[in-house]
Amino acid sequence: MTLMLTSVLSSAEAMLALERGADIIDCKDPSRGALGALPMDEIEAIVTAVDGRRPVSAVVELPHDSAHAHSAIGAVAETGVDYVKFALPMTPDAREVVAGLAPLAAKVRLVPVLFADLDPDFDLLGDLSAAGFHGAMLDTAHKGRGRLLDCMRLDALAQFVRACRAKKLVSGLAGSLEAPDVPRLLVLNPDVLGFRGALCDGGERRSTIDADAVTLIRDLIRQALAPGEREEEIDHVFVRDLVLPVEIGAYAFEHGHAQRVRFNIDVEVLRVSGPDDMRMVFSYDVIMDAIKIILAAGHIELVETIAERLAESVLLHERARAVSIEIAKLDVAPPASVGVSIRRERASVLAAPLPANVAL
User: Of the candidates 221, 242, 273, which is a domain's last residue?
Assistant: 221
- Please say if the pLDDT value at position 355 is more than 50: no
Domain membership flag for residue 162: yes
pLDDT at 151: 92
Tell me the mean pLDDT in the region 220-224: 67
Domain membership flag for residue 261: yes
Express each pLDDT in 25-35 by its tens digit.
Answer: 999 999 998 88
Question: pLDDT above 90 covers what percent of the chain?
Answer: 65
- Which residues form the catalytic set? 28, 85
User: Do residue 128 and residue 264 come from a single domain?
Assistant: no
Which run of H or of E encompasses 262?
strand 259-272
- Please say if the pLDDT value at position 299 is more than 70: yes
User: Do residue 130 and residue 106 come from a single domain?
Assistant: yes
Express each pLDDT in 329-352 by its tens digit.
Answer: 999 888 899 999 999 997 554 333
Express each pLDDT in 312-333 by its tens digit.
Answer: 989 888 788 899 999 999 998 8
Residue 346 vs residues 232, 315, 343: alpha-carbon distances, Å: 16, 7, 11
User: Of the candidates 173, 188, 221, which is a domain's last residue?
Assistant: 221
For residue 138, which of 127, 130, 121 has the smallest C-alpha distance? 121
Express each pLDDT in 258-268 by its tens digit.
Answer: 999 999 999 99
Domain membership flag for residue 226: no
- Please say if the pLDDT value at position 287 is more than 70: yes
User: Do residue 69 and residue 169 come from a single domain?
Assistant: yes
pLDDT at 283: 82
| pTM of the predicted model as reported, rounded to 2 decimal places | 0.73
- Please say if the pLDDT value at position 185 is more than 80: yes
**Average pLDDT over the chain, rounded to an integer:** 88
pLDDT at 57: 97
Q: How far apart are CA 98 and CA 80, in angstroms?
A: 23
User: Do residue 209 and residue 251 come from a single domain?
Assistant: no
Domain membership flag for residue 351: no
User: Do residue 58 and residue 169 come from a single domain?
Assistant: yes
The residue segments making up the domain with residue 198 are: 3-221
- Please say if the pLDDT value at position 224 is more than 80: no
Q: Are the beta carbons of 183 and 282 closer than 8 angstroms?
A: yes
Of the two residues 334 and 280, the one the predictor is more confident about is: 334
**Helix-strand-coil split of the chain, %, nearest 5:** 35, 25, 40
Q: Are the beta carbons of 167 and 304 closer than 8 angstroms?
A: no
pLDDT-derived band at 232 (thresholds 50, 70, 90) equals low
User: Of the candidates 194, 221, 248, which is a domain's last residue?
Assistant: 221
How many domains does the chain contain in total? 2
User: Do residue 254 and residue 183 come from a single domain?
Assistant: no
pLDDT at 275: 54
- Please say if the pLDDT value at position 173 is more than 70: yes
pLDDT-derived band at 89 (thresholds 50, 70, 90) equals confident
User: Do residue 102 and residue 129 come from a single domain?
Assistant: yes
- Please say if the pLDDT value at position 91 is more than 90: no
